[in-house]
């Protein structure tokens, strides 16, 4: 490193470029020792969250625990006790254990709008069919239907864990989790040995492993009664009944989700990255949750702070726990009805129209192994901070959300003011594919919405990778937005 005297003065052109050009710097270069410690600490806590939250229900359960610890209360319980929502009040609404909305009431009236960060907590996975257990040639297998956009072949030959919620015939709710604790058995989907795969290897990757063939290996030991039928299956049902009291019939309406059985792990000798299952979108959900929790201490925020964690994003945000439902609108109506006098339908619409949201979702990071599909100039990169996506959608921006220039500049300004690095990122080259987030559904209510999240490698695979410093920068960015937007 040279001293000042050795530095050559900038030429006029260099100075002009510095003034006019946009250069995205690497966050690691400017992080202080204190920040680096915070980055590592946040990453460690996040890894625990990821390992303990492999389903949408488990993520919501953890989020509720954190909110309760910070003094948040169920909104109906609080209103029953106090009858009102005053500035600083901390409330949440648990939607069927799969979605969650929480708020810290601000000092300004809700008629001025609220600041929202919204993420989703469901991730691609393998679900069981409704009558899943069968026996074939001495094996007991589970028949499945995958959930979300996956490359089928990636889910073979890895250890899988079973996370189930069963409502038994007697009405009792029985939760099952097999494959996560050390010493637990796990499951797997087999693949063909290369020796016999000559034909298979000629197929297109989309047909390489058929969705219908994602059958989970579950047992191979027969029940000890030679006269019984399907004895391997029977043995399995017997074991499940002994331990959990469930019958084959109970599988029908139950929710069984198979997810990678391994834990998240640091990636790289420099430990700069995290590999794990479900970064999409639990990394943003975790950042959003913690950003919201930072407003739990007084003084109350100016504008009301809202956190939204939704389900079903990976299959289109449908249903009564998805972002297309009225869960968010209903919650805001609830807040308005208790704080605005007189409450009216138009007061709610005005509040929504004056509100702002960051749609917190991951973006496809530039991957040097697959450069053909990315536009290097508009891709997002590891280590360069949170990614803003002005628009989503596919071919011709169809089916996406497109944020207004005014709102984009507002968010950029907030991040700049807080010395937080940001980059814009689009999902691949034009016409190479595309995708959407919950942004469009919330924007339909009148809010200004901008997609803003974390760059991820191997998205939707059983082992996705993110950068620790992007996770932390995103968390800081969400706080800045919630405080100032």
Question: Can you tell me the distance from the alpha carbon of 351 to that of 356, in angstroms, rounded to the nearest whole number?
Answer: 10
CB of 475 to Mn ion, least distance (A): 17
- The C-alpha angle 30, 386, 312, rounded to 5 degrees, equals 155
Minimum distance, C-beta of residue 241 to Mn ion, in the bound complex (Å): 36
Closer of 280 and 448 to Mn ion (Cβ): 280
Least distance to Mn ion from the beta carbon of 455, Å? 12
Rounded CA gap, 197 and 404, in Å?
51
Closest approach of Cβ 390 to Mn ion, in Å? Answer: 17
**Measured from the CB atom, is 58 or 281 closer to Mn ion?**
281
Among 311, 361, 402, 470, binds Mn ion (CB under 5 A): 361
Closer of 250 and 281 to Mn ion (Cβ): 281
Nearest approach, Cβ of 459 to Mn ion (angstroms)? 6
Task: Choose the stretch contacting Mn ion; rule: CB under 5 A; options: 152-160, 166-174, 361-369, 374-382.
Answer: 361-369
* Least Cβ distance, residue 438 to Mn ion (angstroms): 8
Total residues binding Mn ion (CB under 5 A): 3
In the complex, the smallest distance separating the C-beta of residue 349 from Mn ion, rounded to whole angstroms, is 28
Q: How far apart are CA 238 and CA 226, in angstroms?
A: 15
Phi, psi (rounded to 5 degrees) for 416? -60, -45
Q: Does 281 bind Mn ion (CB under 5 A)?
A: yes
Pick between residue 110 and residue 150 the one whose CB is nearest to Mn ion: 150
What is the C-alpha separation between 420 and 412, in angstroms, rounded? 9
Task: State which residue, 54 or 338, has the beta carbon closest to Mn ion.
Answer: 54
Residue 484 contacts Mn ion per CB under 5 A? no
Select the span of 213-221, 289-297, 330-338, 353-361 touching Mn ion (CB under 5 A).
353-361
Q: Which x/- pattern, by CB under 5 A, does the window 298-337 give for Mn ion?
A: ----------------------------------------
What is the closest distance, in whole angstroms, from the C-beta atom of residue 58 to Mn ion in the complex?
Answer: 17
CB 120, min distance to Mn ion, A: 6
Q: How far apart are CA 234 and CA 378, in angstroms?
A: 56
Contact window for Mn ion (CB under 5 A) among 169-177, 278-286, 296-304, 400-408? 278-286
Nearest distance, CB of residue 280 and Mn ion, angstroms: 4
Task: Tell which residue, 45, 85, 70, has the closest CA to residue 295.
Answer: 70
289: nearest Cα among 86, 108, 53, 111 = 53
In the complex, which residue's CB is closest to Mn ion? Answer: 281
**Peptide bond preceding 239 in cis form (omega within 30 of 0):** no
Nearest by Cα to 360 from 297, 286, 249:
286
Q: Does 280 bind Mn ion (CB under 5 A)?
A: yes
Residue number, 132 or 322, with CB nearest to Mn ion? 322
Instruction: Report the nearest approach of Mn ion to the CB of residue 458 (Å).
Output: 12
Angle between helices 33-52 and 279-293 (to 10 degrees): 120
Alpha-carbon torsion angle 265, 25, 431, 273, nearest 10: 0
**Window of 214-222, 242-250, 359-367, 426-434 that interacts with Mn ion by CB under 5 A:** 359-367
Side-by-side strand order, sheet with 73-74:
73-74, 90-95, 99-104, 304-310, 114-120, 356-359, 448-453, 386-389, 422-424
Complex with Mn ion: residue 115 or 392, whichever CB lies closer:
392
Which residues, numbered 107-146, are part of the site for Mn ion (CB under 5 A)? none
Residues 399, 400, 406, 407, CA torsion sign: positive
Beta-carbon-side half-sphere exposure of residue 365 (alpha carbons within 13 Å): 26
Nearer to Mn ion (CB atom), residue 135 or residue 280:
280
Nearer to Mn ion, 287 or 335 (CB): 287
Q: Which is nearer to Mn ion, 257 or 281 (CB)?
A: 281
Which is nearer to Mn ion, 118 or 219 (by Cβ)? 118
The span of 199-207, 301-309, 354-362, 409-417 binding Mn ion (CB under 5 A) equals 354-362
Q: Which residues bind Mn ion (CB under 5 A)?
A: 280-281, 361
């Amino acid at each position: 490193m040279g001293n000042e005297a050795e530095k050559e003065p900038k030429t006029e052109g260099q100075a002009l470029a510095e003034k006019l050009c946009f250069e995205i710097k690497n966050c690691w270069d400017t992080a202080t020792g204190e920040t680096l410690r915070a980055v590592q600490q946040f990453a460690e806590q996040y890894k625990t969250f990821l390992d303990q939250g492999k389903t949408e229900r488990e993520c919501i359960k953890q989020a509720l625990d954190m909110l309760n610890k910070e003094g948040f209360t169920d909104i109906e319980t609080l209103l029953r006790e106090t009858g009102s929502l005053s500035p600083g009040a901390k409330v949440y609404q648990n939607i069927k254990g799969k979605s969650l909305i929480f708020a810290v009431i601000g000092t300004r009236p809700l008629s001025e709008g609220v600041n929202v960060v919204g993420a989703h907590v469901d991730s691609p996975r393998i679900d069981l069919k409704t009558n899943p257990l069968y026996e074939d040639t001495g094996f007991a297998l589970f028949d499945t239907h995958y959930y979300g956009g996956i490359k089928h072949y990636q889910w073979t030959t890895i250890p899988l864990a079973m996370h189930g919620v069963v409502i038994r015939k007697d009405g009792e709710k029985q939760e099952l989790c097999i494959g996560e604790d050390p010493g637990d058995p796990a499951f797997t989907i087999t693949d063909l040995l290369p020796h016999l795969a000559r034909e298979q290897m000629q197929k297109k990757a989309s047909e390489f492993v058929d969705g219908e063939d994602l059958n989970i290996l579950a047992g191979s030991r027969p029940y000890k009664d030679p006269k019984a039928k399907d004895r391997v299956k029977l043995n399995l049902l017997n074991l499940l009944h002994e331990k959990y009291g469930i019958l084959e019939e109970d599988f029908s309406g139950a929710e069984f989700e198979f997810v990678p059985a391994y834990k998240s792990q640091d990636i790289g000798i420099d430990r700069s990255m995290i590999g794990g299952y479900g970064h999409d979108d639990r990394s943003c959900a975790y950042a959003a949750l913690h950003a919201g929790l930072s407003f739990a201490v007084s003084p109350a925020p100016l504008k009301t702070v809202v956190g939204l964690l939704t389900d079903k994003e990976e299959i289109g945000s449908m249903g009564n726990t998805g972002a297309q439902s009225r869960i968010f609108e209903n919650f805001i109506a609830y807040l308005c009805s208790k704080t605005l006098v007189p409450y009216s339908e138009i007061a709610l619409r005005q509040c929504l129209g004056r509100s702002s949201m960051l749609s917190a979702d991951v973006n496809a990071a530039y991957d040097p192994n697959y450069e053909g599909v990315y536009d290097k100039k508009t891709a997002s990169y590891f280590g360069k901070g949170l990614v803003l996506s002005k628009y989503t959608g596919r071919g011709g921006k169809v089916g996406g959300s497109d944020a207004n220039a005014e709102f984009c500049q507002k968010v950029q300004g907030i991040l700049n003011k807080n010395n937080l690095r940001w980059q814009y990122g689009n999902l691949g080259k034009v016409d190479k594919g595309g995708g959407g987030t919950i942004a469009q559904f919330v924007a339909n209510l009148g809010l200004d919405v901008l997609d803003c999240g974390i760059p991820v490698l191997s998205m939707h695979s059983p082992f996705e990778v993110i950068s620790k410093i992007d996770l932390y920068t995103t968390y800081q960015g969400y706080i800045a937005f919630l405080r100032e937007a």
